[in-house]
Amino acid sequence: MLKSSKQVEPRDDATALAELIDSSALSCTDAMAAAVAAAIAHADTGAICRLDADSGMEAASAAERERLADPARFAGRPFRGVPTLAKDLGGPFAGFAVHAGSRALAGRADGSADSEFAKRFRDAGLCLFGLTTSPEFGLSLTSEPLRGPICHNPLDPTRTAGGSSGGAAAAVASGIVSIAHATDAGGSIRVPAACCGLVGLKPTRGAMPGGPLFTNHLGGIASEMAVCRSVRDTALIFQALRGSAKGPGADPAVVNHRESKLRIGLLTDTGALHPTDDLRCEAVLAAGCLLEAGGHEIIPLGWDAFEKCTAASQSAFGSIISVNLTSLADSDMERVEPLTRAFAERGRRMTGARLWDALNDAVHVSRDVWALFDAVDIILTPMLSCAPLALGSFPVDHADTELHLDRMAAFAPTASLANISGFPAITLPFGRDPMGLPLPVQMLAPMGQDNLLLHLAAHLEAAGRWQHRFPVAGLVS
């Protein structure tokens, strides 16, 4: 497993690597060679389910040719020549057939063309050389598909790196890459980021491009983005990806942050069923104090304002993902994990009326969250209820879907709220516990206020309460 000899500065990120490449201190191909070497050296993290060094070197060579032939065009790409990985779910990215962590899709997945999202991801200058581990069909908050590999948390290999973008988070936290593609339908960007000490933004619904394949098949609750080592990387990739098909800057719904005094609603109580431990509550309080010192007003919030809409979110999430899996053919059912099979069978039993109720519940959640923003501008909460759980805490060798959903709700009590409502949410580490594991906080904002979240997250990050343990490959000799 990984060993580290020093604490790494927060600026050890994708932007720093791009600047090093831009200065000619490091070539694109040397950066890729370093990332591939790190992936091989740290294969036991289980972060990567498919490594394609040849594709990576081809992409890096093309970037290097552009750097030499058209420096201005090359410099206009925010992550020029930076190696990256795509998640084995979402996209797709040409040349990398997605299996969604499942044996059922082996040999069937189409990797022939880039989605609009993938095209913009590459246009940002990122060079792809593999796929990261995901649980089967993204159904868990850990990344331990039965087909393998098992993804370990680089900060403690006995613990989960989170899910469903656990492989992406493990690869970024370990320094194999500095930024990686991720998706979020029920906390799948934010939970792994929280487990591994990273920044994770679930954007406003509709802010990211969709299609032609990974689009509205989850009723609009899923978003694509990335897991990052810094807020500045998160802001840059968000700007590069967002907007309509006319271009990354064409979406007027995503507004700039405001500099005025904000009302910060602060929630630490996540209810008797799924309580949050004292250390993670204290991190939220500390983040609130820092924002208050910055001139903002802190307004305490109680669980009673959230209990109904979080319960409705978790229920709607369970219904939507179950119906989504009904497309599995009968021939696939013996090739998927027992828990996946149970969710699919649950979806097949669901009536149209019940699905309609679930979609209506999602609309009501959006309305209820909007009502919360009548009294506050931002909501600050814990991201996880406890430290990253031990591997094996989310078994898939059973058919109890309600038990699985409850286990996920207990680990990340407010995660699905942002997905079902469509509101943007961001997590970042704000301290470490006695075991050296991150103390993550989460902020939610009204629709279109992604940049406001990024502004406040940068303010929290500047306090320096978290440093990465492992350097990025290519940034150290």
Q: Which residues are catalytic?
A: 87, 164, 188
Partners of 430 in the β-ladder: none
Q: Name the phi and psi angles at 43, rounded to 5.
A: -60, -25
Using CA atoms, how far apart are residues 120 and 450, in angstroms rounded to an integer? 19
Partners of 427 in the β-ladder: 200, 442
418 contacts: CB under 8 Å, gap ≥ 6? 190, 202, 424, 425, 444
Residue 352, CA atoms < 13 Å, CB-side half-sphere = 0
Among the listed residues 29, 170, 15, 155, the one whose alpha carbon sits nearest the alpha carbon of residue 87: 170
Among the listed residues 468, 418, 462, 467, the one whose alpha carbon sits nearest the alpha carbon of residue 443: 418
Q: Mark 296-335 as b/e (b = at least 16 C-beta within 10 Å).
A: bebbebebeebeebbebbbbbbbbbbbbbbeebeeebeeb
Q: Identify residue 111 by its one-letter amino acid code.
A: G
146 contacts: CB under 8 Å, gap ≥ 6? 103, 136, 337, 396, 397
Using CA atoms, how far apart are residues 90 and 227, in angstroms rounded to an integer? 14
Partners of 85 in the β-ladder: 180
DSSP H/E element including 438: strand 438-444
Give the pairing of strands 83-87 and 127-132. parallel
